[in-house]
Structure 1
């Protein structure tokens, strides 16, 4: 018997509803120097008025390509080579760019992924909303300014009239995303395509944006197509889930049904790997009284070290950091980014430093790494105050304290081969002997991070994001460090790649007795990996303790809000891939 979820479209809430959008056997290809690449193959998708649907899959699965074909914005040489796109009963597959303008904005809205690159930096926010209103003839010119203010207010921007006169750089990430939502919904479209609308945002801001988007689209009767790699978000926000893998739809059906009982092996891997869903399994397992050994099989990767150790490898005491900034009128002001912060990191464990953007966690990390000098307070490494070290001693200390940054695209020199990237710390610190010995060490490091030795001859631009992050980890391991600071080290990666890197880090920690200081805003990853948690808010530590204690019984409303904002954390999934 065939699985009906993979062969029939999603059904509407009301049987009499006509589909708003139908993709029938859609084929999309790109022409490259090496030939034709089939990016989407035989995709079928149905969306009904007012329905929320999510397409999930890793980078390269074809989900964004599918979405962009609907609005006629395929990049480069991309074109629809087969099948049909039917919108509101009309076939829009072969329409020219000019003909598609009738649909863009007024019928199909778009909220693109990155607000920094999708808002014009030299135009005021109001002008950019106004452009959308003009293009779609929404209101007469005399009412334009009032409508701009109304649209921004609808998107949740306070003091919208004043905000409309500001530029994108004067907005926070969440405010910029709200501005894009305002532009996407300005002409009251019947369908809104939201392409990774909150991937760059903190969980609390993400939740506010998605709550508001959900309320707004419900009030307007707008259907929403989410494009995301976050299954927790998809499960919470979409009624219907479509899973794409290598250009094909491999599974389709009601969100919770798929997440609780995934049929396709790829969907099973996605569900198993998603940090928010793994966290949900841990919460569920603990509620049922499972032991830690059972929790490991439920998706956790921690608990591989002696959690009773109290040996402090890093101790932060009363750390404060102030910056001189210019006020709104040009007068000098002092910003206290870190305010009397104290915590310690136990040897061989993982301590997560968490908080929203602007909480001061990365500033603390930079002071731990001696990349920033504290205004006051101390950072002790194995009992030694780092501020008392000479330049030579500090240089030698860096061999024991290494870092893996957030962006593997920016942290590797594009002009260096992979061999030279990993060899560089060995040369700088004059360890590893001659070139032959260094080559041997680089080969060993590549083995450690499960990369082929042939990668030595390649360059960073030839590798995927996950492969680059493995190289960054190999470079951090080159000098046999005791401590690695991981600054948002997996936040830019797809869930499957993220899961691979987290497992790799857990294995390396176990094999090499490493200590990790994990800087992150992703509470789902913290739940999986950390032994201890330090929660920061506006430069101060508001709560600290063992991970289980923090998650099971948070003492502060701020911590509780951070945890409750993790998408998918409250979904009952059981403890395995299937129930």
Structure 2
């Protein structure tokens, strides 16, 4: 018997423009020990579906029809008291942002105990003991000591583990996880996914995983439901759907997803157009206006639901045969490939003939802090960045990757001059900017611009986008009046937006369009280098593909150089000529992107790459895993010698008596592809990857 049966679920929102059909007839089942992945673009109805299952949709939203049966009980017909017994104990939820779900002024132990006592399943003493067991179960290091800590003292991955522990507190039959790994590094993401898989396997817990990361679905989900415009357009076994999708939308999502194994010159294929508004009824297929396979029937008449071999899909073109033709390649795709020629510095970073646009030489940044209370006189120093040396040539993209806290963003802020350099030297086009004059800094800031992760926080909500783009033109004295308006129109066209949208406000645009506006604003002063700090991290796969394609086109047309900071290694691999891998403030590996991905020399790089889930079942099954133990050490007290040696798989697996790693810090050796490791390349050579 299914744990959960959802039939024709409909959730509507009353808006000034009319009734918005956010969820419009969704149906699926969940069996014990099964993991169902729900995927789709932002606005497809994934999260509203999850909230509807537990009747947590806030006004003006309302569940208006359908059935949700949990172990045969109709949840939509229950009163609040009855529903309260199901929430948390029968079905529980893990939200995307754990910090907003945890009470910042309550200790972790008290929050876990409160969740248990509120359902009456445990006594006070039992709840206290179970809180410790839960932290041990989800892999929190030293759980006895961490029980009395507050949420802000936990890392992002540890907070997400606490949320999973809280979801498990009352032994629920179903866990609904809404984007639980979106903001996490690949290593922490891998740990969370492994934990969910263990719960699924060992406890028989049914899991609904909502995500836009198709690789995550391949790694942990046995079934997948693809949502578009409030409806499930395709569902069935994960491996079969990813191997041969029968709906064009599923096919388009896969084509837009970056992959580690893909050729860098093969462009990502973003889905054209925008999802339809859900206020007006849709006569035909909701995806028809964006579908390369669509004919007139698709626009005029809703497709039937076809079913075969445990799969279901809604598409006219594959209804009869069950086979969908390959994704048509748009003509403009050939124009959006990466830069034609590798920059000189990308081919040989050690060549003295290669003139760098930006040179970062032995740069370090220390942050000082004071103790608390009686210890305030005690001074602590955090080495956020230490001894980093990187060059970027004109027209080159250097990707910087690593876990949270490794110093990626701090390095970007040092280059921008937001933070002062403690030691080292930064040069741009031959000028020393470490102790630059005001005129030199003004010149530098016109030549180098920063693109942040969240475009909404980068734009003034009260300024039209035309004014936002015109502002830097006027500040730098480049253009005013009619000339500025003309330049704004040119910039909007350059990033693929209609100049007629200049009078609109930021909230009237989608996330991808806002990021295009931010890029247009950065390009207004004609810079030569863009520092992109997680510029596509918050976007779904289609919007991400659009922005990556835009950055590649601008690089080809304008000769821009990029420093691309991200924890998404697949995107970095697709966009970058070279990759720098950082760990605890230091660069541990640097080399051409293809070489770093295909033949990592540092065990940390190999571990990062093995943690990236690939959206291909065949590739994912054949890949080996390197499981890092423990958390990243504190930068207040980093390990002596190699900073990675406390988590490195080489020492304990090859020779426990190797002491050089714990006593002597390795340096980056000269060369095109090099790593700061005493036993560079030995991990893969010894075949020590965990085969799980």
Residue 284 to residue 473, structure 1, CA distance change in 2 (3 Å)? closer
Partner of 1:336: 383
What is the deviation of 1:303? 4.3
Residue 399 of structure 1: aligned partner: 446
Query: Which residue number corresponds to residue 374 of structure 1?
Result: 421
Residue 495 of structure 1 corresponds to 541
Describe the shift of the 1:298–1:557 C-alpha distance in structure 2 as closer, same or farther (beyond 3 A). Answer: farther
Match of 2:581 in 1: 535
Q: Residue 618 of structure 2: SS of its match in structure 1?
A: coil
Equivalence for 1:8: none
- Match of residue 552 from structure 1: 598
Contact kept? 1:113, 1:198, Cα under 8 Å: yes
Which aligned pairs between 1:11-410 and structure 2 lie closer than 5 A? Answer: 18-275=1-258, 278-282=259-263, 301-308=337-344, 310-327=354-371, 329-330=375-376, 331-410=378-457
CA RMSD, 1 decimal: 2.0
Confirm or deny: 8 A CA contact 1:28 1:81 kept in the other structure: yes
Equivalent residues of 1:300, 1:529 under 8 A apart: no
Name the SS for the 1:193 alignment partner: strand
* Higher RCO, 1 vs 2 (CA within 8 Å, ≥6 residues apart): 1
Indicate the residue corresponding to 2:465 in structure 1. 418
Structure 2 residue runs of 5 or longer lacking an equivalent are 267-331, 346-353, 621-692
Tell me the distance in 2 between the aligned counterparts of 1:283 and 1:193: 36
Alignment of 1:572 onto 2:618: yes
Which of 505, 514, 525 aligns to 2:571? It is: 525
Is the contact between residue 282 and residue 299 of structure 1 (CA under 8 Å) also seen in structure 2?
no
Separation of aligned partners in 1, 2:509 and 2:253: 22
Distance 1:236 1:283 in 2: 23
Deviation at 1:19, TM superposition (A): 1.1
* Pick aligned residue for 2:514 from 468, 471, 477: 468
* Worse-matched range after superposition: 522-531 or 308-317: 308-317
Q: Distance in 2 between matches of 1:545 and 1:439?
A: 43
Q: Deviations over 1:349-400 (max 9, x none)?
A: 1110111111111111111111111101011111221124310121022111
1:181–1:476: structure 2 CA closer, same or farther, 3 Å change rule? Answer: same
Counterpart residue number, 1:293: none
Number of the residue aligned with 1:7? none
Distance 1:496 1:419, change over 3 A: same
CA displacement at 1:144 relative to structure 2: 2.0
SS at match of 2:66: strand
Q: Distance in 2 between matches of 1:221 and 1:357?
A: 32
Call closer, same or farther: CA 1:435–1:359 in 2, change over 3 Å: same
Q: Provide TM-score, normalisation by structure 1.
A: 0.91
**Consecutive unaligned residues in structure 1, runs of 5 or more:** 1-17, 286-295, 575-579
Count of aligned residue pairs for this structure pair: 544
**Does the CA contact (< 8 Å) of 2:218 and 2:615 recur in 1?**
no
* CA distance 1:569–1:562, shift in 2 (3 Å): farther
What is the deviation of 1:571? Answer: 4.0
> Which residue matches 1:577?
none
- In 1, the alpha carbon distance for the partners of 2:193 and 2:369 equals 33
TM-aligned CA deviation for residue 426 of structure 1 = 0.5
* Secondary structure in 2 matching 1:281: coil
Shift, 1:254, TM fit: 1.0
Contact 2:463 2:505 in 1 (8 A): yes
Residues 532 and 379 from structure 1, CA distance in 2 versus in 1: closer, same or farther, beyond 3 angstroms?
Answer: same
| Partner residue, 1:449 | 495
Change (3 A) 1:553 1:283: farther
Q: Which moved more, 1:19-28 or 1:308-317?
A: 308-317
Residue 77 of structure 1 and its aligned partner are, at CA, apart by 2.2
| Alpha-carbon separation, structure 2, partners of 1:468 and 1:322 | 34
Is the Cα–Cα contact under 8 Å of residues 34 and 200 in structure 2 kept in the other structure?
Answer: no
Q: Please say which of residues 459-468 and 373-382 is displaced more in the overlay.
A: 459-468
Task: State the alpha-carbon separation in 2 of the partners of residues 313 and 375 from structure 1.
Answer: 22
